[in-house]
Chains A and B, each alone.
Chain A
Amino acid sequence: MMPDDTLTRRAFLGVGAQGAAALVVGFYLPACGGTRETTPGRAGQAFTPNAWIRITADDRITILVEKPELGQGSRTYTAMMVAEELEADWSTIRVVQAPTVPAIYKELRTAGSGGVESTYLAMRQAGAQARELLRTAAARHWGVPRQDCRAVNGAIVLAGTGRRLSFGALASAAAALPALAPTEIPLKAPEQFRLIGRAVPRLDLPAKVDGSATFGIDVRVPGLLFAVIARCPYFGGRLRHVDATRARRVPGVHAVFPVAPLPRRFNTAGGVAVVADSSWSAVQGRRELVLAWDRPAGEPESTAGLRRVMERAVLGPATFVAVDRGDVVDALRGASRVLEADYESPFQAHATMEPMNTTVDVREREIEVWSPTQFADEVQREIAELAGVALDRVIVHMTLSGGSFGRRYQWDVPAEAWQVANVMRRPVQVMWTREDDFQHDFYRPHNRQRLRAGLDTRGRLVAWSTRIVTTPIAATNLYTGYTESPETLRDPATIAALEWYGGDIAPYAIPNFRLDYAPADSVVPRSWWRSVASSYTPFAEESFMDELAHALGRDPLRFRLDLLTPGEPDADRLRRVLRLAAEQAGWGTPLPAFQGRGLACRVNGTCSAQVAHVAVDPDGSVRVLRVVSAVDCGLVISPDGVRAMTEGAINFALTAVLTGAITVKDGAVEQSNFHDYRVLRLSQAPDIDVQIVSSTAPPSGVGELGAMLAGPAVANAVFAATGVRVRRLPIESTLLRRT
C-alpha cells in the first residue's frame, strides 16, 4: 500500500509554484471542466508560513502540517489551532503531511517537544488570515460592510438576515483578494475558544486501530525489494573479508554487496547488504554470510572501564564552567556542614517499537525516499549531497513513525538506504532488525555527577556545586574523524544544550552556585534521547535535594517550598504544582511498611512536580504503584493530549529507572533484544494521575518533563520506603533485598 497522507511534490507544485516563498494561505480549487485550475495564494509581507490551508468548493478543508506525527498528536493539535481561528466546521478538516519543499516548509521536524510551542501563534494566524479573506469576499458579494459578516462553523453569515455562504462557495473569490499582514488580523481571546482546550478526538487514531496506518516499515511500492545490512559489532571496526557464497544461495536473495561506512556526520557503520524479495529472505541471507571484521586499534571499550574514567573525571579539572553565581569555593569552605554525593546513569537505547527503516527509489531523474524520520528536510539535504544532485531532485515522504524519542533525528538510516538503493536502481526498503536497533543506536550518554552542598550553622543551604561528566553528544562522531567536534566541544551553547541542560538548580534560591562540566571519551555513538541531558540532571539534583532535606530532618516538600522565593515567577509556578501534586498524592499521610512517597519538581518552560508512590518487595524489586504529576504547561490545546504525553513520558522513563541499561563489553553493546534490555511492561505500569494547572500563558511542550522527574521521584520514594538511597540507575534490587 502506498502512503497516501503525504502530498506528492508534483501535486504540490501544480498548486503553488509561483511566489512560493511568500505564500501565506493557498486556496486550492478543484478540477473544473476537465482542467485543474489553480490559484496560488497571496504574498504576505513579513510572514513566513508554516503550513497551507486549502479550501475546496466542496467545503473540504485541508491543512498541511509540517511537524512529523510521532504519536504526540501533532497533526490534530496543529489542525485545531488553524480551525479555531478559521471558524471551520471540524468535520470537514483533513490533515496531510507537508512535502519537502525547503523554500516553504522549513520546520519538517520535531525535537525537544517543541511542536506545540513553535506552531501555536503561526497556525492561529494562518487560520485567522483565511477567515478574514473569506469575510471580505462575502462582504463584497453581498455589498455590505465587512463587520456585518461573521465566520461561523464553516460559513460566513450575514448578521440579521439568515443569509450564509459556505467557505467552499467563497474559496475562489477569497483567493483573488490581496493578503493581509498577520499583524492586522485580530486573534480570538481564549474565552472565545471552542476547539482549543476541549476534548477533540485525534484524527490519526482511527487508522491506528484498524491496521491501515502506514508506518515507514509498511511502505509498499511496485517492485520493492527488502534489505538488511550486516554491521560490524565493534564500534569503529571495519569489514576485512566476506564470503557470500551461501548467502547468495538462499531462496529469494537478489544481491549481496559491501556498503562503505559513511563517516563524518552520517556515522553509519557500513557492512554487507543483503537484498531479497522479502525481509525474511534478507535476514536468512545475512545469517549465511561468513564475515571477518577488523577491530579498531587500542584497548576495547567496556562499561567497567568507562565507569572508572568517570570516577576520576568528577574530581579532575573542568573543561567548562557553565554557571557560576556567588562564590561557591568560599561558601563551601565556610559552611558548617558539607554533604557530597555522586549519581550515575548508563547509556540508554531508544528502542522505538518500529525498528529503523527507510525505503529509497533511485531513478534516472529523481530520488524518492519514504522514511519515518523526525527531520525530513535534513534527510533531503543529506541524500542530495551524497548523490550529488540538486535538492529538488530528492523527494522525501515523512511517514508515520512508530515512536522516535530522539532516535529519528539522525539521518544514518536514510543515508545507508540510499547507498543500497543506488546500487540496486529499484525501490529498496532497508530494515533494521531489533538486534541491529539495540546494537547500533545513538545512545543517551553515560553520565556521572558529583554534587556538593554547604549548610550553615542554622541549617540553611548556602552553597551548591555540580560537576557533570558525560560521554558528550557533541563529540559523538569523533572516533570516525568528525573533526569539527573539538571546536563544538568548546562552544558554550552546544555544551549547554547537549550535555548539562537542566543542571542549573534555579529557581531554588541558593546564593552560591556553580555548575561545571568535563567530558569522558567513548567510542559509543550518542544522541538525543527524550529530554536529552534533562533525563539525568534532575535525577541527581532532585535526589540530592531530598538527601539534604533528610539530613536536616526536614520534610522534603516543606524544604523545597522554603527555597522558592515568593514573587519570583518560576518559583511561584513551582510552588503551585508542588502543592497540587502533594495534595493529590496524600503527601504526609501514613503508608504500610516498605512503601513510600517521593517528590521531584522542575521548571523547563513547562513546570511540573511529581509524587511517586512505591512498594519495595522483600526480594528488593520496586513496584511503582502510583504517580501524580501536576503540570503547568501554559495554555492547553488538548487536555487529554497533555495527559497522554505525560503518562507516556513517565512510563518511558520508568524503563531507565527500573530495568533498562545499555552496557559495553569488548567494544560492542552487550544487549540485543527485549530479553536483555528489559522495558516497562503493563503489569509494572503505575496508575498515573495528571493534574493540569489552568493557565493562559503561551503553551509549552509536555513530551519530556514527565520523563525528567520519574527517576528522582521514584528514587526518593524508595528512600522513604527503605532508608536506602539510590544513587545509580537503573535501581539495583540487590541493594534493597531483605531476605
Chain B
Amino acid sequence: MPSITLHINDHPHAVDVAPDTPLLWVLRDTVGLTGTKYGCGMGLCGACTVHLDGEARRACQILVSSIGSARITTIEGLAADRKHPVIRAWLAEQVPQCGYCQPGQIMQAAALLAGTPHPTRQQIDEAMNGNICRCGTYQRIRRAIARAAAETA
C-alpha cells in the first residue's frame, strides 16, 4: 500500500492504510490519537468531529485518500495548551459527565465560534444538533458556548 501523508495538529504523519479507510480509524488505530471518538460510524452522532482546514467535519465520513494536503486538527491539537476559550469555558461550566461525546462537542463548538463569534441561541442549537450527548449535558454546552463567546468579546 502506498503511504499517505497527513498533516495532523501541525505534524506530518505518513500512514500505510487502505485509501478507503475513514480518517477516524486512521487517527485512532494507526496514529494513536484516541481523543477522537467512534459513536456511530454513520455521521449521525458527532463524536468523531475534527477540523479539516478549520471546518468541523465527521472523521468517520472522510476517506483518508480524499484529504490531500488539508490540515487536520483533533482535540489533542486544539487543547494542546488548555488555553482555548472553548476548553476553558467547558471547565468553568463543568460540562462533561461521562465525557465520551465531549471532544466532538468541543471541536464542533470551536468551529462554530470561529465562524460566528457571537452565536444566538438558535445558531447554537442548529450548529450543535448533530452532536449527541447521552448523558444530557446539553444545557451546560449551551452555557459554555455563550461563556466562550463572551470571553472573546
Contact = CB atoms under 8 A, between A and B. Distances in A.
Contacts, number: 189
Contacts of B125: 682-683
Contact of A402 (B37, B90, B137, B140): B37
A645 B136 CA distance: 9
Contacts of A645: 97
Contacts of B99: 71, 204-205, 207-209, 213, 215, 400, 402
Contact of B129 (A402, A403, A644, A683): A683
A313 interface: no
B38 A355 contact: yes
A402 B100 contact: yes
Nearest to A352: B134
Contact of B25 (A278, A355, A400, A647): A278
Given A204-B99, A208-B99, A434 B37 contact: no
A251 B18 contact: yes
A687 B143 CA distance: 11
B96 A651 contact: no
Given A353-B47, A683-B125, A211 B96 contact: no
A670 interface: no
A90 to B, nearest CB: 16
A215 B37 CA distance: 10
Contacts of B21: 278, 280
A211 B131 contact: no
Given A210-B75, A353-B39, A681 B102 contact: no
Contacts of B39: 353-355, 434
A404 B98 CA distance: 9
A220 B136 contact: no
A117 to B, nearest CB: 19
A202 to B, nearest CB: 6
Contacts of B80: 210
Interface in A627-679: 640, 644-645, 647-652, 673-675, 679
Contact of A685 (B38, B90, B106, B136): B136
A353 B29 contact: no
Max count, chain A CB within 10 A of own CB: residue among B17, B42, B75, B135: B135
A220 B34 CA distance: 9
Nearest to B82: A210
Interface in A178-225: 201-202, 204-215, 217-218, 220
Interface in A677-717: 679-683, 685, 687-688
B117 interface: no
Nearest to B47: A353
Contacts of B139: 647, 685, 687-688
A654 to B, nearest CB: 8
Nearest to A648: B136
B111 interface: no
A217 B133 CA distance: 17
B35 A211 contact: yes
B54 interface: no
A209 B78 CA distance: 10
Given A71-B97, A648-B136, A673-B40, A211 B76 contact: yes
A539 B120 CA distance: 35
Given A210-B82, A644-B140, A353 B96 contact: no
B98 to A, nearest CB: 3
B102 A208 contact: yes
A214 B34 contact: yes
A434 B136 contact: no
B34 A1 contact: yes
Given A201-B94, A674-B44, A353 B33 contact: no
Given A202-B94, A210-B76, A434-B42, A674 B132 contact: yes
B126 interface: yes
B100 A353 contact: yes
A401 interface: yes
Interface in B86-144: 87, 90-91, 94-103, 106, 124-126, 128-142
A404 B134 CA distance: 10
A351 B39 CA distance: 10
Nearest to A654: B136
Contact of A353 (B17, B32, B76, B133): B133
A567 B88 CA distance: 48
Given A674-B42, A683-B126, A205 B91 contact: yes
Contacts of A679: 132, 134
Contacts of B136: 647-652, 680, 685
A214 B103 CA distance: 12
A226 interface: yes
Interface string A391-427: 0000000001111110000000000000000000000
25 contacts: A70-B98, A71-B135, A205-B91, A209-B91, A209-B96, A210-B75, A215-B100, A217-B34, A220-B32, A353-B101, A354-B39, A401-B98, A434-B40, A434-B41, A434-B42, A645-B97, A647-B139, A652-B134, A673-B40, A673-B41, A674-B42, A679-B132, A679-B134, A680-B136, A682-B138
Interface of A: 1, 70-73, 201-202, 204-215, 217-218, 220, 226, 251-252, 277-281, 283, 351-355, 400-405, 433-434, 640, 644-645, 647-652, 673-675, 679-683, 685, 687-688
Given A403-B98, A683-B125, 17 more contacts: A71-B98, A72-B97, A205-B90, A205-B95, A208-B99, A209-B95, A209-B99, A214-B34, A218-B28, A220-B34, A278-B29, A402-B99, A434-B42, A640-B94, A644-B137, A644-B140, A675-B44
Closest A-B pairs by Cβ, 6 of them: A211-B35, A651-B136, A402-B100, A71-B98, A208-B99, A71-B97
